Amino acid sequence: MANILIEKKVLSANDTIASKLRETFQKHKIFVINIVSSPGSGKTSLLEKTVQLLNKNIQTGIIAGDVQTENDAKRIQKAGGKFVQPIETGGSCHLDAAMIEKSIAHFDLDKLDLLIIENVGNLVCPSCYDLGEDMKVVLLSTTEGDDKPLKYPSMFRNSSVMVINKTDLLYYTDFKLDEVRKNALQINGTFEIFETSCKTSDGLNEWINWLTKKVSETG
């Protein structure tokens, strides 16, 4: 019982900060997404392609979260990301709203149209933490099982968009696109679903067009 009470207090404190963050983002008309996935699914690769392909008139801030190192942030900067802020959690398996609040102090929010938060690779803990985002985007790759939505229902239930990445590897795996779509929609019937390959660029235009539309609707 004590553990449950502590968890409720932690989440309540987080939600209070997240609510303030959401008000701030709305005030500045910034569209915010929180990208979540297992380790190695390709979040950073997708962000590298995103900063390269997005219209340069869309000013994009990226918060790159990881347990240790700033390697992901450096990769995104090298790919062309102008406003990139790393967060090292020092062992925590997720980002929380307080981390985001501290991180956005390094951005000029008046200049941003889009903020992308790259969460720590984990499909459990990040599902519970509101970061003030407009929506969570869950990414999985074809090198994982197509039953991932059934194994981690909370994450897929709390996300609005699913990106199926590494479609260029479908030939080499037993992953079935129809099966993962069925499993995901069984958990969340309102999912928007994208299929992408950062190697061949298949599906990236659809992803970029969706982001652009969402930014336009927010502004």
pLDDT in tens, the chain (219 residues): 445 544 566 688 999 999 999 999 999 999 999 999 999 999 999 999 999 999 999 999 999 999 998 999 999 999 999 999 999 998 888 999 999 999 999 999 999 999 999 999 999 989 989 999 999 999 999 999 999 999 999 999 999 999 999 999 999 999 999 999 999 999 999 999 999 999 999 999 999 999 999 999 997
Which helix (DSSP H) or strand (DSSP E) does residue 136 occupy? Answer: strand 135-141
Chain centroid offset of residue 157 CA: 14
Q: Which two tokens stand for residue 208?
A: 């970029």
Give CATH superfamily name and number for 2-218: P-loop containing nucleotide triphosphate hydrolases (3.40.50.300)
pLDDT digits 0-9 by tens, 163-182: 999 999 999 999 999 999 99
pTM of the model: 0.93
Domain ranges of the chain: 2-218
97 near 132, Cβ under 8 Å? yes
How far is the CA of 151 from the CAs of 44, 65, 123, 145, 180, in angstroms? Answer: 23, 24, 10, 10, 12
